[in-house]
Amino acid sequence: MGTYRYAVLGAGRQGTAAAYDMARFGDAASVVLLDFDQDRAAQAARRVNELVRGDVARAAKVDVRDHASVVRALTGVNAALSAVPYTFNLALTRASIEAGCSFCDLGGNTQIVLEQWTLDAEAKKKKVAVVPDCGLAPGLANVLAAYVKARLDRCDRIKMRCGGLPQKPKPPLGYKLVFNIGGLTNEYFGRALVLRGGKIQEVETFSELETLDFPAPVGRCEAFVTSGGTSTVPRSFEGEVGELDYKTVRYPGHFEKFKVLKDLGLLELEPVEVDGVPVIPRKVFHRVAAPRIDFPEDKDLVVLRVEAEGTAQGKPLRVCMDVLDFHDDATGFTAMERTTGFPAAMVAEELARGHVEPGVKPLESKALDHRLLVEDLGRRGIRVTETVSRPLLAHEKGT
């Protein structure tokens, strides 16, 4: 019999993967999957129990919009993970604090994370630890950024590059949906926070296109600025790191095709009139495009590269962390589910064990043991390759 009681809000793809990780690695006495659709929650709980060959997971119906019912569901729980849309995370944080339950979430919206930060005093008073933005990027990318920064005495720059990709790209976009299409287009719009000259700046999304190479079978890819990926890292590292940015990785050609849609206004949120009816172009795009880029039977992969340059013991040093993960046939979890749900569960497990001090903590802060989190990925079959080298000097780059 395990020790800790967990709750997962949302029994979808990443929520189920997280529940599985808690059941397998979290010394769990119980893992309850909470969802408005109780049948979906029950199906997810059965899947988890079958995979771990135990009876640790169960299902319950909860409407995350109902504050009182969420508080009741989380009372007596050691740690909860929100795997529902980010719009609910602030309210769920308040409910968790009221219930005395430590809390983390998959995040996805930095402004909401900053609002969660304002609950720090309440969390400390209730002896509750809260860590927002714990998925892949933001999430695991933050962990690796903190890890590479700690390897250097002086950190000049950090590059964060991440993408969920099909193993075999298909037209029309060389892409398959690995999460909600609304989350995809949300990342492609707005402005992104970066560090330039050690100071926080905003840059336009869908800009600064570059090419980069990954090991086979991925090969040559492209990357461009998207929003949300840096999360709170620029605020945490301001004045300590010179340059920092995040870009989303796609197969070559994706950027150009999507930019045509963007430039034609087909992704705008301002309604236009069509035959006397107001229509939001982006909602139409979501409805029409989603089934054409879903490819549910196709297997995916995830690439994540976080690279830092600076000095260690007075010598120039580059530290590069690479993750290349694939759909797992043994469990049926996709690469995106593994690299999002598992790292989030790992944070929840640290919360349950009391390894994070009360209060609202950014994932990249020293409140968490980033080296331990990186090492624990290997137990889950997620391989992280660390490469240490000397960066090229300015005069060498031109040769």
Which string of b and e fits 332-354 if b means at least 16 CB within 10 Å? ebbbbbbbbbbbbbbbbbbbbee
Residue that is written with structure tokens 């009139």 in the block: 273
- Is this prediction's pTM over 0.85? yes
Q: What is the DSSP letter of 291?
A: G
Structure tokens given for 384? 């992280």
Instruction: Kindly report each contact of residues 70-76 with a partner whose C-beta sits within 8 Å and lies 24 or more positions away, as own/partner.
Output: 70/9, 70/95, 70/99, 71/95, 71/98, 71/99, 72/99, 73/7, 73/32, 73/34, 73/99, 74/7, 74/99, 74/101, 75/99, 75/100, 75/101, 76/5, 76/101
Q: What is the model's pLDDT at position 25?
A: 97
Amino acid at 140: L
The CATH number given to whatever domain includes residue 124 is: 3.40.50.720
Structure tokens given for 218? 């991925």
Q: What is the model's pLDDT at position 390?
A: 82
Residue 129's beta-bridge partner residues? 359
Residue 377, domain member (yes or no): no
Residues 111 and 253 in one domain: no
SS3 105: strand
Q: What is the model's pLDDT at position 179?
A: 72
The CATH number given to whatever domain includes residue 317 is: 3.30.360.10
Q: How many CB atoms lie within 10 A of CB 264?
A: 10
Low-confidence spans in the chain with pLDDT less than 70: 392-399
Residues 177 and 237 in one domain: yes
Residue 373, domain member (yes or no): no
Q: Give the residue from 336, 36, 335 showing the smallest Cα distance to 180.
A: 336
- Taking only the tens place, the pLDDT of each residue in 330-380 is 999 999 999 999 999 999 999 999 999 999 999 999 999 999 999 999 999
Residues 28 and 45 in one domain: yes
- Taking only the tens place, the pLDDT of each residue in 229-255 is 899 999 999 999 999 999 999 999 999
Residues 188 and 211 in one domain: yes
Residues 162 and 86 in one domain: no
Q: Give the residue from 42, 44, 83 showing the smallest Cα distance to 64.
A: 83
Residues 257 and 393 in one domain: yes
The boundaries of the domain holding residue 228 are: 140-335+383-397
Residue 375, domain member (yes or no): no
Residues 102 and 167 in one domain: no
Distance of CA 153 to the CA centre of its chain: 27
Residues 326 and 341 in one domain: no
Q: What is the model's pLDDT at position 285?
A: 94
Residues 264 and 299 in one domain: yes
Residues 188 and 228 in one domain: yes
Q: What is the model's pLDDT at position 397?
A: 60
> Contact 221/252 with Cβ under 8 angstroms?
yes
Instruction: Kindly report each contact of residues 371-380 with a partner whose C-beta sits within 8 Å and lies 24 or more positions away, as own/partner.
Output: 371/147, 371/150, 373/143, 373/343, 373/346, 373/347, 374/143, 374/144, 374/147, 374/321, 376/25, 376/346, 377/323, 377/342, 377/343, 377/346, 379/25, 380/21, 380/25, 380/338, 380/342
Residue 372, domain member (yes or no): no
Residue 14, domain member (yes or no): yes
Total domains in the chain come to: 2
Q: What is the DSSP letter of 354?
A: T
> Contact 213/161 with Cβ under 8 angstroms?
no
Residues 218 and 103 in one domain: no
Residues 215 and 310 in one domain: yes
Distance from C-alpha of 327 to C-alpha of 333, rounded to nearest angstrom: 6
Residue 376, domain member (yes or no): no
Residue 188, domain member (yes or no): yes
Residue 287, domain member (yes or no): yes
